[in-house]
Structure 1
Amino acid sequence: MKAVQYQSFGGPEVLEVTEVPDPKMFDDLVVVRIEAAALNPADLGFQSGAVDPVVDFFFPVIPGWDVAGVVEQAGAATAGFRPGDEVIGFVRGQIMHHGTYAEKISAEPRQLVRKPRNLSWAQAAGLPVAGLTAYQAIVHSLEVTAGDTVLVHGAAGGVGHLAVQIAIARGARVIGTGSEVSQEFIASLGATPVRYGDELVEQVRKIAPDGVDAVLDTAGRGSLATTREVAALGVRVASITRSAAEYAGAIDVFLHLDGDDLTRLVELAEEGKLTVHVERAFPLDEAAKAQQLLAGGHVRGKLVLENRREV
């Protein structure tokens, strides 16, 4: 099968497209024919070697954790899946070696759920990692409920645009920060957009004069510094950028696989309350180009790799 891999740590330039053996099959595994795989900032971080001191790498490494595809084989011990099932998943192993920048992958059943019926392959591929991160931040860490006013920093990004929708689905009012060019997109998600910059605090105060009840930082770059000036009494604060130390009592959100959470994301999508914006889809052969765009920042929603097979 075709796959994208790297033989040493580095940036997008270390990626190469090559032929590798099909993934092996065992009784408790499912082999998925990949239709699309989303990119995540973590791909770049792991690929750079930044986590080498704490994560084992077995070279060559195929990057990628997000997957949307069709079950090709299902082991005898994988009740609930059969060939032909359309699935999405968060497929990450203890050792970095087999990832989703490929035409196929073997996965544990617990890593997969059914694909949302109303999302394209590209949209579905963008849901697991970013969606789980957003859901766990909004629901579990911040405990957002109806009537809350929530400030989402980086509301146009991969996690941010999903967090906005999840908070709104829970009955919250959302204020979303972003660049000037992202204001219309943020508004289309149902949030009230505000611009980054010196006037951010003033903008938020006008919208929420009594302060915001919860803050999610998906942007970093000192975003939490504004929270003290716009916070209501008892504000809950969380960050996915490891910036919680900037605000006393803030929570760092650590993504973890949870089948119930992933299933709820599927349900929200099928209820019409959640969608994935795909900024651009690339063929698998252009993975390096896609990573370069991701590394440059300012991507709205998700970037995706597609396996474009000849009919």
Structure 2
Amino acid sequence: MIGFFLFAWLFFGLLSPVLANYDQCYYDAGLVGPQELLPCLPANETDNGFSWCCMAGQFCVNQACYDGKSGVTYQYGCNDPTYKDKTCPIKGGLDRAKSPWIGLVQCNNANEGELKFWASNHPDTCGGNCPTEPDQPQVTQSVWPFEIQPLPPINDCKDLGKRVLAMYAPSALGSTGGVPATYTPPPGKPSPTRPPLRSSYATTTSIPVTESALQIASSGSSISTSSATPSSTSSATSSTASVATNAPAAPGPSSPALGNGAIAGIAVSSTAVALSALFAIFILLRRRLARKRGSEIVADEVEDDWQAGPAELPDDFHAISPESNEHPKINELSDNADSYILLFTTSIDAG
């Protein structure tokens, strides 16, 4: 008789931790759910020893849950600590820190078959139909509590800000499994954990106003990281890069003494001198070629060479003298070229 009681004590003593672990639910890998979150299926009715979980006192339906008080159909988690079992709600890439659970919205698509697209209602997807803070109705609730709460009615996925798949399931979710109406957690059962918000930190890049563009390119800019506290009116913060452009940059020890205007003036002057030299060379070569050809060119060749183009009109410059078989203006152009070059060179030297 004593042996029987000893065996029973050992059996239930060893079984208790197993049952306690089975009743522990998670809403993501390593993230502990509320103590009242319990598996819907008993261990002997599961395929792999794991089940999806619902809050105590609510209804288990096929791969989901239903809260009769708020009228919300939702998914929460499972009792697989690695969150890899097929019964664990996928929740897309939604931020678990903003809400450990998701509401379910059926998408009305007549082209789909028996299995319908059920979308996730979450702070990342609710768009313009997000719940508000209980004590501040004008403020959007950016972080949802662990407990299931009422959500603004959404009749179709078009009312969501973003469509993220929760599951494919029939339009009517049949009752499957169950959780107790009331539940008292055993001593030592862990409390729920919530991770930090993914966007709770913002990085600001600032460039000192005393650095020049050349110094920034060679040495890099200074980066300051500041912690941004999430507010109730915004669900995310973004990384911003601020560059001071409204203050003049003070020259450093090795900065050039010339200003931007002086540098630009030097560049323009150098370009003008180079163009002037090229123009002078062109005139000299043209004059020399004209003198060389002056004695060889015949009247017919000159007439063909100086024939007016489609956009030109005949004038005295294009006329040919039949007596001399020479172009009357070539020598004049050659003689004037020296004057033009001298005048242009004098202007450059004076400038």
TM-score by length of 1: 0.22
* Structure with greater proportional strand content: 1
Q: Which protein shows a greater Rg? A: 2
TM-score by length of 2: 0.20
Structure number with greater CO (CA < 8 Å, separation at least 6) is 1
